[in-house]
Amino acid sequence: MAPNLKAVILDRDGTLIVEKNYLRRVGDVNLIPGAARALASLRRAGYTLIIATNQSGVARGYLKEKKLRAINRKLSRELAARGATISAVYYCPHPVDGKCGCRKPATGMIEAARKRFGFDPKRSFCVGDKITDVEFGHNAGMKSALVLSGYGAEELADIRRDAARATRKSRPDFAARDIGEAVEWILSQKK
């Protein structure tokens, strides 16, 4: 592993694109305002950008993996056209109770990305709109930001309501209004 490499692992729905509750159509991919600009600034700062997304809609029969890959390609093309090239997209198509090693907060997708890209988790970050995204990053030894877009505001309220049950791994290192503010925080960190 090359210790100088750094990455940002990004959730997809509610973090980069508008949450659609089981997005099924390529035409429904809508970037969150400012997402591409924010990711382009991470690329310029030397971060490898990787999307890691739970997609149980495949197991539920809402869409086929072929359609999921087409959705991911469209998102990647839209971001690349704006200077925010995504190096890889990983997804877990398994059911919520599937007990697989790739469904967040398990670290299978991060481990696959580390094997391929060789980034240092201590210099890397995870960003998403759910507590499972926060735990995903923490489980891999990364700092995690929770964006309040998508399900993030509701998830943060749940943590605050039940603080006694929240573990260190479920508490975000930073809560951001959106991906733009999360990226500002990442860029302010001395890594």
What token pair was written down for 174? 């930073």
Residue 47 pairs with which residues in a beta bridge? 6
Residue 50 pairs with which residues in a beta bridge? 9, 88
Q: Which of 11, 129, 133, 178 is catalytic?
A: 11
Asked if 28 is an active-site residue, the reply is no
Contact yes or no for 37/182 (Cβ under 8 A):
no
Asked if 120 is an active-site residue, the reply is no
Phi, psi of 153 (to 5 degrees): -65, -45
Cα distance between residue 20 and residue 190, in whole Å = 35
Helix, strand, coil fractions of the chain, as percent rounded to 5: 40, 15, 45
Q: Which of 13, 129, 133, 178 is catalytic?
A: 13
Catalytic positions: 11, 13
